[in-house]
Structure 1
Amino acid sequence: MTTFDEYKKRIDLSEYAQRQGWEKDDAKSTATAAVLDKKSQGQTQDTIVVYKGQEHDYFYTPNNSKERGDVISFERLKNGADWKEINDKLARYVGEVPQERQLPQQVNSHSHNQAFQHNFRFQPITETEYLESRGINKSTIYADEFKERIFNKEFSYKQHLENGVNQLGKMAPISEADKAKIQEIGLEKYYSKPFFDQLKTVQTHVKDTNELPANYLESLRNTYGYKAPEGATDRVIVNTSFPLRNEEHVIASINRNEEYNRIERPKENAVWSSRTDFDKRPVNAVVIHESPIDSLSYHQLNPPKEDEKRLYIATAGNISRDQPVLIEKLVKESQAEKVVLANDNDPGGVKQNINIAGRLNLTEKSENTHAQLNIHDRTDARLLVTINHQNQQEGQERLKEIAERFTTAINKNIPDGAEREAKAVVVQNGSRSSEIEIAFTANRENLIRVEQALIKERGLENHMEVRRPAEKDYNEDLKRANPYIVSYQEQNGREHVAGRYNKEIDAYNAVAEKAKERPDAKEVSAYMEIKTNEGSKKVELAHYDRENEKVVATPEFEKRVTEQQKLQETAAADRQQQAAVAAAKANSGDVRVVDGDGNTVAKTEYKVEVDSQGHSNVRREQRYDQEELTREGTSGREIQTAMNKEVAGATNWGAGNVDGADLKDTKKDISQEQENKRSMSM
């Protein structure tokens, strides 16, 4: 006999409700939540929201907080069925549907490889302007951690517009002539952002009303645009792409430019991740962000220490239902000591932390407690906590403890009457598993309290850490650390940010470099953005004067650049002196003169000494076997002169040590020197 727990796991509640006449509202539904309406004569009588839980689906009624639960509760509350009727009805239903829920069709390796080669068409990262406009420098872009994790990809605005027009045509009838006119207007505006924003407004209107707005072509024609280059039929730029991988292959891609941010193909369970195979050191920490841009920014702002190695993971937006499984696998394979949640510093980022902390099984305790947070109408937060236990009594006691811990953590900090108190409602208390829902106001403070309480509840205090950026996200932190912006303007007026810098001299030099790199640019300048009550204000600091081929800066900016140039020159001189001193200190040894039998007949030991001012002096100590030198027909003075020449050569700023000189060669050198002197005197 099938149990109620088995019914819950097997039945897709959204499909089950639709078979009973509930209609899915695709406009309001998301990838993780289905909004269903019960209608009568075209009027909505009731609404439910169905979510995917850890083990089964559950629902809640937005207008009645007491109506919530699983498929059993749905039958009892919405259809008024008793337990026998529910059992009979579900038994009949599961006899009509497959024994297991239909899973996404598995794609074989060959087709996945084809998708990588033919659909994504990634190119090696050579165009870095977009990333540099976000403050990310080339050292970070080409770091070992990110090799073959960032690519370029050509992007056609004409094709992008064609896709948008086709999508519009699926929502409302549109003639081929009007489709062609939209393409003409797009090219006329040279595919400006205001044009695409207005097209999006048109699409939203059609989605809400199922008809095109009046004079929609005119509204597109009235948008701000740029003059297209003569003879242009398209605008093709180079995107920055971040591949999203599942356990085996790349199945999706984040494609970015200054006006465009899209995920190509469904991400499903795939994530973006950095490399760890560039050396054999162990991974110390796994750092999780919503965006790869934030991962790169975090890496640049907080460079790993010499003995530190990280694995970066980005979820490409809100975490999906299936991503935690892959993330947990990557964490365990890395054997990292800690997981760092470094998501956005806003309610959405805290929600992301909660849903990751609620799913990753990093300890034995965490395997028996899971949680999922959903927020409705921006302020209505519902945390569903699922627990496993040995028997119903144990489950009942644990539900009571969880309710007490979470509601106390929230309510003790709420001023009287400021907002509704958090409440806990038991969804079910089964023999092996139970569920409880915590309802609370979704402000930032409450979300952080729930985040910390959940980490503690799952026993993750020593395995998980939250690091919030100071600004909204880590890229905003990076921009703040690099306040000097260099941009250039095309002849048609379109402006592009080329880079961000934290020193005036770097921005000053970048203006000159970008002017040479973009000889057709109308203007190249450096500026800062100052936030005011009216918004951001641009303050120009320097620009490139093409007539005189030089950078012209404001007096204060020029002064700072000059100061930094002097500091750089002083630092360079100091480094050169330090290198010379180090080379001198390493330069010591001896010069020996030996006879035919290899016996030492003369020896000079030398050592370079450097004082506190960096001045060097060679100290020598010489020894002779005068009797042997006399027998060989030479004098100690001649030998001394020859050895001093050898020492001078050896101590010439690190030329190396000389160890060993043959007596015959030395005598020959001395004789030649004397012959030269005689020739000069004649």
Structure 2
Amino acid sequence: MNSPTGGRPRPNDDSELERFKDQIPIVPLATGRYGYDITDKARNDSWHKLEKGGEILIVSKKDGRDVYMNAHDTKDSGSVVDFVKTRDGLNLGQTRQQLRQYLGEGGPEQDRQQLALRPEPTRTRQAERGPDASLPEDPRERRDELLKRTLGVQPALTDKSYLRERGLSDETINAPAFQGRVFTGQNGPHKNTVFPLLNEGGFSSYEERNHNFKSQMPGPRDGIWVSHPTQGKGSAVERIVIGESPIDAMSKYQLEQPGGSGPSTMYITSSGTVSQRQVELMQKVIDRQQPKEVVLANDNDAAGVRFNLNYMNDFRAPRQNVALETGSETPEQQRGNVTWRAQRGGEYHTDLKVTFETERQREGRAAVASLQEKVDGWRKEGGEQAASLEVVRMGSDQTVARVTVTNDQLPQLRGLVQELHAQREAGMPEAQRTPPGFFKWEAALSKDYNQDLTDQQTEQRMQRAREQAGFDKGVTAQQASVSPIERPLMLEIVEQGQRQNGGGAAGQIEQDLRKAGLSILDRKQEIDQASGVRTTHLQAQYLVTDPDPQRKAISTQLEIISRAPGVTLTETEAHAQERRQLTNAPAVKPVELPERQLAESKAVFSAATKELSKGLEEQGIPLQAARLSEISRNVLERDIMPLRGLDRENLNGAIAIAEKLPALQEKGQPGPLVLAVQQADKSMHERYQTVQELGEVVCSEAL
């Protein structure tokens, strides 16, 4: 609607506002004049879901009138008067004029007629629990209920299959800590596991999980996932654990206090990259619950360490008498004379920006000198400098420095932050100081706590199989010699340009092996700093007593990995033939290098593009998925090398779209499926170029 430019003012009485609310329905107005689309609605029209450019509105009835709320903004809600006032940026007087004009022109009836001509929305989620389901009167409960209905979220967890397949026991799933904190959502034919994100206003957003599927409601990151206390809702909290995902939180619970046997604990997660708003919400929970300690338990990788470093800067000891209502003010607290922020400094580096607040410039110089002395003391094996320091800004009242380290030196950065934290606390007023030991780091043994849980269950399964077979009762698989039911193997992974431990292709291969069901017995890495060549040796095993479907998955994964560039799989010929019989996979036939390497890289590229194609298909991008599938077939069947023209354009286009899809990202960066295609594409063309160059040499010699 266009803002009125004039007109004779009319009496601004309250009865006029009530008349607007009675006579102007929001749904026809929003669809006819503001460009919203109806994407779902209740069977009895008790609510409508409207969408426009990622914005989601839910319109319902209250006292016979339309009211709306914004799913992403708790402050954007109310009557038709609020709707117009907010969207057109008007004051109340201008809004009155606009609505008078709309009524005078017969706008409501015109928009109703246009709305009647629109096709019914195709429902992708469940509607309401029944045609006469009533809505609560309490505003917070009403908002929660409407969001659950329009998003297809049932008020209970009716499908536990995904959680069970992630290794969570029914005892954990049914624990008091997680009641009402995990639901079942209907998305078309799929039943997804839904984790609600909460803020002061109640249900703010949600995260959906399923097999090879991850989605989060679009909009600002305005909520966090919070469990109940492990001793039951309303009980005192001794300990708060902060992690990245609800699955990891539930896994840690199962690992550390099965059955809720440990101290009363509350689990909080950000469900991915952390926003400043989420940090504020977490601090409010700390203030309200008054725990004795806060455990930082993000993923055991570079991104997880950076989260923990920043939490050490952001969080404070519990403050007293902090209200949690929306818009409530929190007590001011002195921030101290030093702050820091860790961020990704490239593929293999982390930057820590340190800010010193000073009264004189010489104090800033002294702080930088002390920092430089610490950094100079960090050395890698062989005496190489492990970090660099750059002065970003130096003024009379503020000095900013940046410390850059390779990710394998993050433990050094953690030690530095702990020193800075202690320095800051010493300068704080005594009443605001964080007690010693209040913040604790508890890193997973593997990448994350769900992987730790999976590893533990794999080890327990193997141990039970050994004992049932009568081998080494009471001895772990790592301690025992190889028994007839075990199938050991060794993988060597050689990578170029890797001068640090962890991550890379070796890290991804290790994760893939674990997911397939193999147990990792040993892992060793050797790095040649001069050449940048990293060699990783993985010792793994599986059991011949594993179910056939699992052994098939293991064999398939091993075949894919063994064909990757720089990977050598070593196992007995008898064991290799045994597992290939399950999948009818042919033995790897040696061919001449580098033709063999090119053939292997084509197979890897084809497999990677197929997987990304499936991911795009699941995210509703069928055209790009089909193009990727065609490229995958053509590389193997038609030998279209190198990729150029339309094939190259289609590949780059599909990757560009996949990089922007949250479900195919990991912590805001392109996820494993995208990275696998990019790496395979690069490797395949490098091998192709090598073959071409060698072919030219052979031809010239023949002439």
Look at both structures and tell me which one has the larger radius of gyration over its CA atoms.
1
Fold-level similarity (TM above 0.5): no
TM-score scaled by length of structure 1: 0.43
